[in-house]
Amino acid sequence: MLDTQGKPILLCSNNSNTSHIYDLPSFSERGKIFSKEEIRSIQTGPNGLFFTGDGSGELKVWKWS
């Protein structure tokens, strides 16, 4: 997906409660997103929104700022 400045990024989750955010193409870690349980789904949306769903069924809406 793209951040608010139009730069490409990658959101990556594994079997932990953390998703990592990487700048592309360098793969430099830019930040982390934390959840109550493992993040099982990440979906992009319009206007800088993205969504995460975790193992507890919780859905979070995020916005780049």
The domain limits of the chain are 9-63
Q: How confident is the model at residue 24 (pLDDT cuts 50, 70, 90)?
A: very high
DSSP code string of 3-41: -TTS-BEEEEE-SSSEEEEEETTT--EEEEEE-SS-EEE
Q: Is the predicted pLDDT of residue 29 greater than 90, yes or no?
A: yes
Q: Give the tens place of pLDDT for each residue, 32-47.
A: 988 888 888 899 888 8
Residue 18: per-residue pLDDT: 87
Residue 4: per-residue pLDDT: 82
The pair of three-digit structure tokens given for residue 37, joined into one six-digit string = 């349980």
How would you class 5 by CB atoms within 10 Å of its CB: exposed for 0-12, middle for 13-18, buried for 19 or more? exposed
